[in-house]
């Protein structure tokens, strides 16, 4: 643990930021699973809604720095691939 007062503050700030980043990453995983479930069910309206929500959350996470921009792009491409496979069926 840090001895300097400002460094004690920074430890707390870093902890809060880490948890926020974890929430973004966890939410993205949850939304990705929901998208795959919607694709399996075959409901096009739900697929479109879930895809939009997933892409929106990925963009927010990348803008905040919770995800690297290339990771965000990769996840969005994977989601698009899942949606296009649903449209092909």
User: Do 53 and 61 form a contact (C-beta atoms < 8 A)?
Assistant: no
pLDDT band at 76, cuts 50/70/90?
Answer: very high
- Tell me, what's the pLDDT at 43? 86
- Tell me, what's the pLDDT at 32? 97
pLDDT band at 86, cuts 50/70/90?
Answer: confident
- Give pLDDT tens digits for 24-62: 999 999 999 999 999 999 889 999 999 999 999 999 999
What does the alpha-carbon distance between residue 88 and residue 41 come to, in Å, rounded to a whole number? Answer: 14
What does the alpha-carbon distance between residue 2 and residue 12 come to, in Å, rounded to a whole number? Answer: 11
| CB crowding 30-44: b at 16 or more within 10 Å, else e | ebbebbeebbeeeee
For the CA atoms of 51, 23, 67, 58, the dihedral, rounded to the nearest 10 degrees, stands at 20
User: Do 65 and 56 form a contact (C-beta atoms < 8 A)?
Assistant: no
pLDDT band at 2, cuts 50/70/90?
Answer: confident
- Tell me, what's the pLDDT at 89? 65
């Amino acid at each position: 643990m840090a001895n300097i007062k400002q460094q004690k503050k920074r430890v707390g700030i870093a902890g809060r930021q880490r948890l926020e980043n974890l929430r973004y990453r966890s939410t993205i995983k949850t939304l990705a699973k929901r998208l795959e479930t919607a694709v399996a069910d075959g409901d096009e309206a739900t697929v479109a809604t879930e895809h939009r929500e997933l892409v929106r959350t990925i963009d927010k996470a990348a803008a905040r720095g919770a995800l690297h921009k290339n990771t965000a792009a990769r996840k969005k491409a994977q989601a698009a691939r899942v949606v296009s496979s649903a449209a092909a069926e």
